[in-house]
């Protein structure tokens, strides 16, 4: 989708490229407003990841725009180093398998490895 048909595209693109880790979510990382957003923000917060949050509920164009941008129908959406990683189910699976740790390691994203291990232990 081009910027002319979706005015939010340029804003989304700039946000994704300007932040190492960014979560497009319903609500904020301090106050998520849906269970799926809460789960992903909770994982990132618990692991001590420094991430930017974008509340898609604040702007309808942004809410639809992020779905068009990623060609992914649901929110939340996690981006690391400008790349779309996935939504709640994918992030949950990656956390439990250790793939999220690897992604963060490969991209120089700081996180608490002990916290990541505790999440896996609690879900074993």
pLDDT tens column, 55-80:
999 999 999 999 999 999 999 999 99
Does residue 80 form part of some domain?
A: yes
The pLDDT of 116-123, averaged and rounded, is: 96
- DSSP label at residue 71: T
88 is in an annotated binding site: no
Mean pLDDT of 37-58: 97
Inside any domain, residue 100: yes
Q: Is residue 95 part of a domain?
A: yes
Residue 56 within a domain: yes
Residue 1 maps to a domain: no
- Read off the pLDDT of each residue in 22-39 and give the average, rounded to a whole number: 97
Helix or strand run (H / E) with residue 61: helix 60-70
Q: Is 63 exposed, middle or buried (0-12, 13-18, 19+ CB in 10 A)?
A: middle
Enclosing domain of residue 107 = 8-122
Is pLDDT at 44 greater than 80 in this prediction?
A: yes
Cα–Cα dist 85/67, whole Å: 13
| pLDDT value at residue 56 | 97
Question: Nearest to residue 39, comparing CAs of 50, 52, 25?
Answer: 25
Residue 46 domain-assigned (yes or no): yes
Is residue 53 over pLDDT 80? yes
pLDDT at 110: 97
Query: What mean pLDDT is reported for the chain?
Result: 94
In the chain, pLDDT over 90 holds for what percent of residues? 93
Determine the average pLDDT of the residues in 93-112.
Answer: 98
43 located within any domain = yes
CATH of the domain at 65: 3.40.30.10
Domain count, the chain: 1
Residue 3 lies in a domain: no
């Amino acid at each position: 989708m081009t910027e002319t048909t979706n005015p939010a595209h340029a804003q989304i693109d700039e946000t994704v490229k300007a932040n190492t880790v960014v979560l497009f979510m319903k609500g904020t990382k301090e106050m998520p407003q849906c269970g799926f957003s809460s789960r992903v923000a909770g994982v990132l917060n618990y692991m001590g990841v420094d991430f930017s949050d974008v509340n898609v509920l604040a702007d309808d164009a942004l809410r639809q725009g992020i779905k068009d941008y990623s060609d992914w129908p649901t929110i939340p959406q996690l981006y690391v180093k400008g790349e779309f990683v996935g939504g709640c189910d994918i992030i949950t699976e990656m956390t439990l398998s250790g793939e999220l740790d690897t992604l963060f390691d490969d991209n120089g994203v700081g996180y608490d490895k002990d916290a990541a291990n505790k999440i896996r232990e609690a879900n074993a």
